[in-house]
Amino acid sequence: MANKWLWDDVRFFLAVSREGSFSAAARGLGVDHVTVARRITLLEEQLGAKLLSRTPEGFATTQAGQTILSQCEAMEAAALNLERLVAGQDSRAAGLVRVTATDALTYRFVIPCIAAIHKTHPGLQIDLLTGIRVMDIGRREADLAVRVMFNRPTDSSLVCRKLGDIGFTLYASRAYLAEHGTPKRGHGLGGHDLITFMGAPVSLRSRFFMGESLEGARVLVRSNDQVAQLRATANSLGIVELASFFGDRDSEVTRVWPDEAPTLRPVWLITHQDLRRATRIRVVSSAIAEAFQREARVLRYGQRRSTSR
């Protein structure tokens, strides 16, 4: 009789084939790289074939691995569907909820929500996944996502609720503006140093920095950590675009155009349709939505009163 092998073994193979290394796969799976290597070896022994080969760029799937890749992905989809369907029927206001949001939104809104929820639902456990990386809701990398996106997600399997709008404006240190001058609104940021994100799509660049032309500007610092961006700005390294509720709280930076109203971007609360009826998901999503409604003005305009609206 052939050796038995389980779906749990297959997910290790998929993780390495996607990430290209044991260490990256281990981070995604929440284990150490030794465990990943051991589980891959076990699966290869059970199947009697080499699934991954080491290359200078990392691990690549072998011909045998490519042959079973689509079937393994189908197994993954079936397993995740099963997990979501079961989780979606759970009537307990307890258990794990994975929430992903940007650093700034997490610190300012999501963590206070969790503190309030804990008082009435102590059985809930929240995993916070902070940053701008888009977690895959379908693969259950997250259960709830708070995302700032220009357009409503189009995936029909996702349930999307608009939480409101977030205002963004430009910040710099007073020392930077004293040395380099204040750019004139509508005349671009040429000649200035910028602080921005890594990997921003070229097609969307015209929608950042309050729509100003970036021709002739120099990107001096790139970071996907918004706190790091803020500290770089405070240290006079350049101009950054931040959510106004976040940037206004730091006395070491100032709005480049203090009389200009922030530009608005929608923020969405997203979950999978199979999970929306789960009690724990509804408890957390309702708390987040209520917090955003209470803080709608701060989200739109920051800590200052807008003189333009």
- Compute CA distances 231 → 172, 180, 188, 192, 221, whole Å: 10, 18, 24, 18, 11
First-last CA distance in the chain: 74
Q: What is the largest CA-CA distance in the chain?
A: 78
Per residue in 221-278, pLDDT tens? Answer: 999 999 999 999 999 999 999 999 999 999 999 999 999 999 999 999 999 888 777 8
Confirm if 240 and 233 have CB atoms less than 8 A apart: yes
Per-residue pLDDT, averaged over 83-102, amounts to: 72
Per residue in 129-167, pLDDT tens? Answer: 888 888 888 777 889 999 998 888 888 888 899 999 999
DSSP 80-93: HHHHHHHHTT---S
pLDDT of residue 85: 63
Q: Taking Cα atoms as reference points, which of 192, 146, 182 lies closest to residue 288?
A: 146
Query: pTM higher than 0.75 for the full model?
Result: no
Per-residue pLDDT, averaged over 290-309, amounts to: 78
Q: How sure is the predictor about 304, in pLDDT bands with cuts at 50, 70 and 90?
A: low
Q: How sure is the predictor about 305, in pLDDT bands with cuts at 50, 70 and 90?
A: very low
**To which residue do tokens 């996944």 refer?**
129
pLDDT of residue 75: 78
| Domain extent listing, the chain | 7-87, 93-309
Confirm if 83 and 140 have CB atoms less than 8 A apart: yes
Confirm if 8 and 21 have CB atoms less than 8 A apart: no
pLDDT of residue 178: 96
* Calpha distance 61→14 (Å, rounded): 10
Annotate 108-138 with three-state secondary structure.
HHHHHHHHHHHHHCCCEEEEEEECCCCCCCC
Per residue in 58-75, pLDDT tens? Answer: 888 888 888 888 888 777
Task: Bin 230: left if φ > 0, else alpha if -120 < ψ < 50, else beta.
Answer: alpha
Per residue in 177-219, pLDDT tens? Answer: 999 999 999 999 999 999 998 876 555 566 889 999 999 999 9
Please report, rounded to a whole number, the percentage of residues in the chain having pLDDT higher than 90.
45
Residue 105: is its pLDDT beyond 90?
A: yes
Please report, rounded to a whole number, the percentage of residues in the chain having pLDDT higher than 70.
89
* Calpha distance 272→280 (Å, rounded): 13
CATH of domain 93-309: 3.40.190.290
Cβ neighbours for 40, distance < 8 A, ≥ 6 positions apart: 12, 13, 16, 22, 51, 52
CATH match of 7-87 with 1.10.10.10: yes
